[in-house]
Amino acid sequence: MDKLKSYINQHKDRFINELIELLKIPSISADSAFSQDVINTAEAIKISLQKAGCDLVEICETPGYPIVYGEKIIDEKLPTILVYGHYDVQPPDPLNLWDSPPFEPVIKKTEIHPEGAIFARGSCDDKGQMYMHVKALEYMTANNKLPCNVKFMIEGEEEVGSVSLSWFVKQNHDKLANDVILISDTGMISNTQPSITTGLRGLSYVEVEVTGPNRDLHSGLYGGAVANPINILTKMIASLHDENNHITIPGFYDKVEELSTEERAEMAKAPFSLDAYKKALDIESVYGEKGYTTNERNAIRPTLDVNGIWGGYTGEGAKTVIASKASAKISMRLVPNQDWNEITKLFRKYSS
């Protein structure tokens, strides 16, 4: 342990600076204006894996952004760990909610990070965690402590649905062979509680467009006489939950697995402070499906959320327009036995 500490202390500044350089690259996979930055990040990961001690590192082309593959095989007879991570990040908007620019990393001490933490887009999703594994490999190879074979599979499309990942995995069945997959792209119960996430909810993602009149209209001339697509869309969205925050789509819950009282009691044993949760989010109360706790709501229950909504006039001042179209992006988090295809069909049927 002492040797570990001394190696880390000796190299700490370099580790942090390397991560900061990585965080400066705006690898926003959702916005094609940043495609070169996404590719540059893959290059940077390749170099860091080579420096950390991987014997083979490749940038593997896919139909989308490349996947960086690295490996350190010390003995075929030993078990192999496959580390998964992603080098792309979410778009940083809205920019005015950032205390410091998203791609200019700063180290700040806060109430929950008394020793300081790096604030930048991607610092904890997922460049920070991914880099932790790269540096762990560096430490282990540099100190002859690697107890197993290690492979890395770092993708650049996680924030846009990992579109090429399944294609890549199917193409590289043997190359990726492993005994354990290690993913650090989820949450921790608290800063002092090591946690293992054993499952995550799935996703159905849809875009809805409501079309009304063939052109934008003036509300003084047409208001009240034609259906306003934005009014209709918001009414439709509001009707997707009932007064108990239960989703109203017929059949939505049909296959949802209900946990037993014992299982729920087990879940409730995980350390959790509702006060700390509210404080961290700066909210006065929590919200959600009646009859379930906060941890149950965000783990074992399916959800439906609007992720974006647009239409009409959103610029400065007033424009009395009745838009011809209104749109929304809606996602549903799904639990075991819910099939995304089926759920998407149920949504479509209900909303059309």
Binding positions for Zn ion, rule: CB under 5 A: 125-126, 185
In angstroms, give the least distance from the CB of 185 to Zn ion.
4
Q: Which residues pair with 166 in a beta bridge?
A: none
Q: Which is nearer to Zn ion, 37 or 125 (CB)?
A: 125
In angstroms, give the least distance from the CB of 268 to Zn ion.
27
HSE (side-chain half, CA atoms, 13 Å) at 174: 0
Matching residue, tokens 């290059």: 43
In angstroms, give the least distance from the CB of 86 to Zn ion.
6
Q: Which is nearer to Zn ion, 125 or 155 (CB)?
A: 125
- The pair of structure tokens assigned to 283 is 């909210």
d(CA 85, CA 56): 17
Q: Which is nearer to Zn ion, 130 or 322 (CB)?
A: 130
In angstroms, give the least distance from the CB of 41 to Zn ion.
14
In angstroms, give the least distance from the CB of 35 to Zn ion.
19
Classify burial at 174, counting beta carbons within 10 Å of its beta carbon; exposed 0-12, middle 13-18, buried 19 or more. Answer: exposed
Positive or negative, the Cα torsion across 293, 297, 301, 306? positive
Q: Which is nearer to Zn ion, 105 or 212 (CB)?
A: 105
In angstroms, give the least distance from the CB of 114 to Zn ion.
25
Instruction: Please provide residue 156's backbone torsions phi and psi, each rounded to the nearest 5 degrees.
Output: -120, 20
In angstroms, give the least distance from the CB of 183 to Zn ion.
9
Q: Which is nearer to Zn ion, 18 or 126 (CB)?
A: 126
d(CA 324, CA 20): 46
Positive or negative, the Cα torsion across 337, 339, 345, 350? positive
In angstroms, give the least distance from the CB of 29 to Zn ion.
11
9-19: b (≥16 Cβ within 10 Å) or e: eeeeeebeebb
Q: Which is nearer to Zn ion, 126 or 155 (CB)?
A: 126
Pairing state between β 80-86 and 303-311: unpaired
d(CA 196, CA 186): 9
d(CA 102, CA 122): 9
**CB-CB contact of 86 with 163 (8 Å):** no
Q: Which is nearer to Zn ion, 130 or 335 (CB)?
A: 130
Q: Which is nearer to Zn ion, 125 or 157 (CB)?
A: 125
